[in-house]
């Protein structure tokens, strides 16, 4: 959403230190074969440049609420992803490009209840300020004290000519409620600076392609207006005609400019029907529409960083299209013993996983513009959640499922960590995307920095 990052602040520190070549290759995110070749090349400066351009890397963070059903979500053992648990089965065709991370904890404490911290400390890794928002328990809070990792990376990308795009990032929503608080906002450009996702595909279409629409409109209008000025011109006194002549000249020039822009326009607005109704019953259509827009925007290099937020923390969508009458949040608070609820939660989360697969499929069926492979090879989707589990409100084992490529991380695998602070995951992510930081959010929780085990 934000094109310029004025007003936000960076929390990362850039330190220079000598690194060995293997580490460098890992950080560039090149696959193992290419790494072997690259090993023979003259040394490149860290971060790209020199004789080769850094390959395109993209990030999409996808959010769904209320935790998961752990026994149906997590692979039983670490290691090769031979089979997928029930909730993750829709990812079967992408198994070779999937990485599941178990044992990542949101260790941010302080003000705010678990949902609030679960949501607003998820991407920021930093405490919430004191404030007046009272959750189900604990102290009231305000906004987080820092920016989110997607904005941190976007700032870096926008400050570099090679990675700069029209938009630093785009924030897509699906049925996100129209109020601003720590349950509905996940992305922050800085302390106290939430970013609202756009939940209306029409509005998003307008944001992305509005200028082109305007150009079309203008072209058709100029003819009308020009004809009228011409008709009137002859009845105006000679001394006044110069005004109309000037006007006609500008109209003519605008018409020419519009024509030139149309002819050289690389961007073609996609044919997407953005007229879906914005309510729970139409959630699948909205999801499809927003995903189409997201992939189109990335394909045209309008941005490389995006978030896709399904409802909000404590989101209570009624997913009738799954045959479920109760709201998601209500169900998530039922005890484990209530089997019907657990079964419904599994179906809900599986549906979310289908959305993830659908997004991956769209990326995978689009060739990488000006590059090799498909867009999915150059995009990492991270599916995550505010909580580990709904009824316990635990912030341990936050769901982290990565699909796609480009980071140089392990694939077709499940890694199991022991209380890995999620700050370190974000640090690793940023470094792998070419944005060098050694700490993010709360510095204590960043200790240890980059996580070696992630890399291939």
Partner 1 sequence: MRMAVKTSEQIHAIPATVYFLALATLTSGMLADDGQRLYLQHCASCHGAKNEGVSEQFEHPISGPATLEELAAFIELSMPADDPGQIVGDDAKQVARFILRDFLSSEVAPAVPRIELVHLTVSQHENSVADILARFGGKSPVNTAGGLKGEYFLTREFWKGQPVVSRIDRSVSVDCGKASPVPEQLDRNNYSVVWKGSIFAPDSGDYVFSVRSPNGFKLHVNDDDVPLIDNWVSTPEDPDKTATIKLLGGRWYPFTLAAFRLNDPSFSIDLSWQRPGRMDGPVHSSFLSPEWSPKVFVVSTPFPADDSSVGYPRGTLVSREWDQATTSVGIEIGEMVVANSKQLVGSTPDKPDFANKCRRFCLTLAQAAFRRGLLEEEQNRYVDYFFEGDGSPLIALKRSVLSVFKSPAFLFPEIVQPDRREQLIANRLGLFLCDSVPENELAEKVKTVLGNSVPVDELTRVAWGLADSETGQAKLRQFFRAWLKIDDAQGLTRDPERFGGFDDRLVDDLQESLIRLVDEVVGSETSDYRQLFLADHLWMSPAMKEFYLGESGDDSPPGEEFAERSFERMQPDSGERAGLLTHPLVLSHLAYYRTTSPIHRGVFVSRGLLGLGLKPPPVAVEPLDEGFDPDMTTRQRVEFQTRPANCMSCHEVINPLGFAFENIDAVGRFRVTDNDKPVNASVTFKTPSGQELQLNGPRQLAEYLVTERAAHRHFVESLFHHVVKQPVAAYGENRLDELTDAFVSSGFNIRKLFVDIAVMAAVFEKMERQVVTE
Q: Which of the ranges 58-66, 80-88, 133-141, 392-400 carries the binding residues for partner 1, by CB under 8 A? A: 133-141
Min separation Cβ 226 and partner 1, Å: 10
**Of these, 14, 78, 225, 260, which contacts partner 1 (CB under 8 A)?**
225
The yes or no reply on residue 45 touching partner 1 (CB under 8 A) is no
> Which one of 51-59, 231-239, 332-340, 441-449 is the stretch in contact with partner 1 (CB under 8 A)?
231-239
HEC per residue, the chain: CCCCCCCCCCCCCCCCCCCCHHHHHHHHCCCHHHHHHHCCCCCCCCCCECCECCCCCEEEEEEECCCECHHHHCCCCCEECCCCCHHHHHHHHHHHHEEEEEEEECCCCCCCCHHHHHHHCCCCCCCECCCCECCCCCCCECCECCCCHHHHHHHHHHCCCCCCCCCCCEEEEECCCCCCCCCCCCCEEECCEECCCECCHHHHHHHHHHHHHHHHHHHHHHHHHHHHHHHHHCCCCCCCHHHHHHHHHHHHHHHHHHHHHHHHCCCCCCCCCCCCCCCHHHHHHHHHHHHHHHHHHHHCCCCCEEEEEECCCCCCCECHHHCCCCEHHHHHCCCCCCHHHHHHHHHHHHHHHHHHHHHHHHHHCCECCCCCCEHHHHEEEEEEECCCECCCCECCCCCEEEEECCCCECCCEEEEEEEEEHHHHHHHHHHHCCCCCCCCCCCHHHCCCCCHHHEC
What is the spatial distance between Cα 47 and Cα 50, in angstroms, rounded to a whole number?
A: 10
Instruction: Using CB under 8 A, pick the residue from 240, 261, 372, 453 that binds partner 1.
Output: 240
Q: Binding to partner 1 by residue 252, rule CB under 8 A?
A: no
Tell me if 256 contacts partner 1 by CB under 8 A: no
Footprint (CB under 8 A) of partner 1, residues 73-102: none
Which is nearer to partner 1, 94 or 188 (by Cβ)?
A: 188
**Interface residue with partner 1, options 237, 264, 323, 339 (CB under 8 A):** 237
Which of 71, 246, 273, 336 forms a contact with partner 1 (CB under 8 A)?
246
Q: Which parts of 413-442 interact with partner 1 (CB under 8 A)?
A: none
> Using the rule CB under 8 A, is 259 a contact of partner 1?
no
Point out which span in 26-34, 235-243, 322-330, 396-404 binds partner 1 (CB under 8 A): 235-243
Applying CB under 8 A, among 236, 267, 278, 456 the residue interacting with partner 1 is: 236
Examine residue 138 and tell whether it contacts partner 1 (CB under 8 A). Answer: no
Q: Which two tokens stand for residue 232?
A: 């009137």
- Contact with partner 1 (CB under 8 A): which of 229, 274, 280, 373? 229
User: To the nearest whole angstrom, how small is the minimum distance from the Cβ of residue 184 to partner 1?
Assistant: 10
Toward partner 1, which CB reaches closer, 247 or 394? 247
Our finding on whether 253 is near partner 1 (CB under 8 A) is: yes
238 binds partner 1 (CB under 8 A): no
The residue from 130, 367, 369, 448 that contacts partner 1 (CB under 8 A) is: 130
Closest distance to partner 1 from the beta carbon of 136 (Å): 14
Position 179 contacts partner 1 (CB under 8 A): yes
Q: Which stretch binds partner 1 (CB under 8 A): 47-55, 97-105, 219-227, 303-311?
A: 219-227
- The residues that touch partner 1, with contacts defined as CB under 8 A, are 129-134, 140, 142-143, 179-182, 192, 206, 214, 217-218, 220-221, 224-225, 227-229, 232, 236-237, 239-240, 243-244, 246-247, 250-251, 253-254, 275
């Amino acid at each position: 959403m934000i094109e310029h990052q004025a007003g936000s602040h960076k929390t990362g520190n850039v330190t220079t230190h000598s690194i060995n070549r293997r580490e460098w290759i890992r950080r560039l995110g090149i696959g193992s074969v290419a790494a072997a070749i690259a090993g023979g090349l003259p040394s490149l400066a860290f971060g790209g440049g020199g004789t080769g351009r850094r390959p395109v890397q993209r990030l999409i963070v996808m959010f769904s609420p209320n935790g998961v059903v752990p026994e149906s979500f997590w692979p039983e053992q670490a290691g090769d992803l031979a089979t997928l648990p029930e909730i993750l089965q829709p990812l079967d065709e992408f198994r070779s490009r999937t990485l599941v991370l178990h044992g990542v904890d949101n260790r941010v404490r302080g003000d705010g209840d678990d949902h609030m911290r679960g949501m607003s400390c998820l991407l920021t890794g930093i405490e919430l300020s004191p404030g007046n928002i009272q959750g189900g328990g604990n102290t009231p809070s305000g906004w987080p004290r820092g920016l989110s990792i997607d904005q941190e990376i976007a700032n870096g990308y926008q400050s570099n000519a090679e990675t700069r795009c029209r938009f630093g990032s785009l924030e897509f929503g699906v049925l996100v409620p129209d109020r601003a608080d720590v349950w509905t906002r996940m992305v922050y450009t800085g302390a106290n600076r939430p970013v609202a996702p756009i939940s209306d595909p029409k509005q998003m279409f307008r944001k992305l392609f509005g200028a082109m629409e305007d150009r079309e409109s203008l072209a058709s209008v100029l003819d009308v207006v020009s004809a009228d000025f011409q008709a009137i011109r002859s009845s105006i006194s000679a001394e006044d005609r110069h005004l109309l002549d000037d006007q006609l000249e500008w109209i003519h020039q605008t018409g020419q400019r519009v024509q030139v822009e149309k002819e050289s326009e690389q961007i073609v607005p996609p044919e997407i029907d953005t007229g879906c109704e914005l309510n729970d019953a139409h959630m699948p259509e909205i999801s499809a529409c927003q995903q189409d827009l997201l992939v189109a925007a990335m394909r045209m290099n309008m941005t490389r960083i995006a978030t896709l937020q399904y409802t909000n923390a404590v989101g209570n969508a009624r997913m009738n299209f799954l045959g479920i009458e109760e709201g998601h949040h209500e169900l998530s608070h039922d005890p484990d013993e209530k089997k019907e609820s657990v079964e419904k939660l599994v179906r809900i989360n599986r549906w979310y996983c289908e959305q993830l697969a659908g997004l991956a499929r769209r990326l995978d069926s689009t060739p990488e513009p000006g590059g090799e492979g498909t867009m999915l090879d150059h995009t990492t989707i991270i599916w995550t959640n505010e909580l580990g589990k709904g009824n316990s409100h635990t912030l341990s084992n936050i769901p982290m499922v990565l699909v796609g490529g480009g980071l140089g991380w392990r694939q077709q695998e499940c890694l199991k960590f022991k209380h890995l602070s999620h700050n370190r995951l974000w640090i690793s992510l940023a470094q792998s995307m070419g944005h060098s930081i050694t700490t993010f959010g709360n510095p204590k929780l960043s200790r240890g920095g980059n996580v070696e085990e992630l890399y291939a």
